[in-house]
Amino acid sequence: MTRSHSEWKQLAAELKIEGRAFIAGEYQDAADGKRFDCVNPANGLKLADIAHCGEKDVETAVKAARRAFESGIWSELAPVKRAAILKRFAALIREHADELSLLETLDAGKPIGDTSSVDVPNAAYCVEWFAEAIDKIGGEVAPADPKLLGLITREPVGVVAAVVPWNFPILMASWKFGPALAAGNAVIVKPSEKSPLTAIRVAGLAKQAGIPDGIFQVLPGAGDVGKLLALHMDVDCVAFTGSTAVGKLIAGYAAQSNLKRVWLELGGKSPNIILADCPDIERAANAAAGAIYYNMGEMCTAGSRVLVHRDVKARFLEAFKKAAETYYPGDPLDPATSMGAIVDGIQHRKVLGYIDKGLSEGAKLLFGGKAAHADVGLFIEPTAFDCPRPDLTICREEIFGPVLSIITFDDVEDAIRIANDTEYGLGAAVWTADVSTAHKVSRRLRAGTVWVNCYEEGNDMNFPFGGFKQSGNGRDKSLHALEKYTELKSTLIKL
């Protein structure tokens, strides 16, 4: 159902917000009673007190997870039964879509039109997809000496910690807990302190669906909750989405503790290459605008570098400017809003700092460049720079905001070199009318996802998602995601 601005405001006013941790099947305050404020970045108002979990809570949750996992109550449930419970969980997420969309919008500043049509339905879809898959995949019988029967099976890895970011809070969490639960693990979610509300709410729905106590827990708190989980000797796996800097720390924590499995979905500086034979400049410009201004540019796959051929640059810039005009920050609760608020003051200052850096290093500001509605909340105008060189800071570092760096090239080889000249390798796109060029260029782009004549297509679960190089390892989505949450076992039976 589509709702009006005033309906969403009314629903928001009536919302009851849960801020406690979810441990061993119950909502609970942090053991030491500590709390922190959850604030709406669109108006600066406090939304709720959130449990600030610490060492004791991590201990309790890991113990509960271990107990529940070892009991077999979930891991040894017939896959068809686990699937049924997870489908109920997905259905409950859908039934509570208005509430969850509102929580996400109020907490993270994301437009309600997006949270209600993308984040929440796709989280439900992810849980459902892995539920549907899990009773349909089996193991292997290895070719072996006829006197030997060799079975190759997958077993759940055990206690999985999912440490997730604030840009797509419920969706990124579901990309972890969907496959991890389906595979039979016990999962502890650590949401970002900037956006804990949907993870906390969803935990109650998991219980309602029939997921046993201890199998799904949520520990809100600061980064050190993630650190404690990643250092814990009884956590078997950390699935992380966040910055490359914290990803490196997590890999180190695993090395310092029990060599737990570490899966990292990290940052990006994805190139969007417009070749001279781009089949439709207007479509490319619209896609480029969505690639950098959707979700306020707070996207790991943001097309934050446009590489455009000199011959089509003028036409592209004209069409891009027009496309960018459809994005302007507004009230996240208004379904007509295409851009919401920046998640918090730290991120807001960081993005504005990059804009200053672009100006001081000689990039030409094409439009935007300022905070918007500064008297109300944390908003930033859609911004684009024409960059004289590809080595400017704004062309190299992930900004994670609505700031595009446009780089001009004359030759395809140059474009490929510039595109790959980054520590990241998450997404990339190329626009061309020639099928051979499309294949040749996409093969040479070092990125986990390459789009040809589109950007951010493929919302369904069938495509593995993740990065090359310092954009991480392992893949979310698709059946490949199950590899993260299972161990392979060979069983050899002498006949």
The site for ligand NAP (CB under 6 A) is made up of 163-167, 172, 190, 192-194, 222-223, 226-227, 230, 241-243, 246, 249-250, 265-268, 300, 398, 400, 426, 467, 472
- 164 or 181: CB nearest ligand NAP: 164
Identity of the residue, 17 or 222, whose beta carbon is nearer to ligand NAP in the bound complex: 222
Tell me, yes or no, if 70 is annotated catalytic: no
Report the DSSP pairing between strands 148-156 and 140-142: antiparallel
Q: Can you list the positions of beta strands (E) in 164-298?
A: 186-190, 216-218, 237-241, 261-265, 271-274
Q: Which of 128, 265, 398, 483 is catalytic?
A: 265
Q: Least distance to ligand NAP from the beta carbon of 384, Å?
A: 20
Distance CA 466, CA 489 (A): 25
Min dist CB 321 to ligand NAP, Å, is: 26
In whole angstroms, how close is the CB of 445 to ligand NAP at the nearest point? Answer: 16
Determine the residue with CB nearest ligand NAP.
226
Nearest approach in angstroms of CB 295 to ligand NAP is 10
Q: What is the largest CA-CA distance in the chain?
A: 78
Closest to ligand NAP by CB, 75 vs 244, is 244
Instruction: Provide, rounded to whole angstroms, the least separation between the CB of residue 230 and ligand NAP.
Output: 5
Q: What's the gap between Cα 237 and its chain centre?
A: 18
- The whole-angstrom distance between residue 180's C-alpha and the CA centroid of its chain comes to 16
**109 within 8 A of 115, measured Cβ to Cβ:** no
Question: 307, 319, 310: which is closest to 283 by C-alpha?
Answer: 319
Looking at the Cβ atoms of 193 and 331, the one nearer to ligand NAP is: 193
Dump the DSSP string for 334-386: STT-SB---S-HHHHHHHHHHHHHHHHTTPEEEE--SEESTTTS-EE--EEEE
Least CB distance to ligand NAP at residue 31 (A)? 18
Residue 114's DSSP bridge partners are: none
Q: Are strands 26-28 and 21-23 parallel, antiparallel or unpaired?
A: antiparallel
Does the annotation mark 300 as catalytic?
A: yes
Closer by beta carbon to ligand NAP, 74 or else 424: 424
From the candidates 300, 381, 395, 456, which is the catalytic residue?
300
Residue 409 identity:
F
Which of 75, 105 has the CB closer to ligand NAP? 105
Q: For strand 486-494 and strand 364-367, is the pairing parallel, antiparallel, or unpaired?
A: unpaired
Is the distance from CB of 266 to CB of 467 less than 8 angstroms? yes
Strand order in 449-452's β-sheet?
Answer: 364-367, 383-387, 403-409, 305-309, 271-274, 427-431, 449-452
What amino acid positions are annotated as catalytic residues?
265, 300
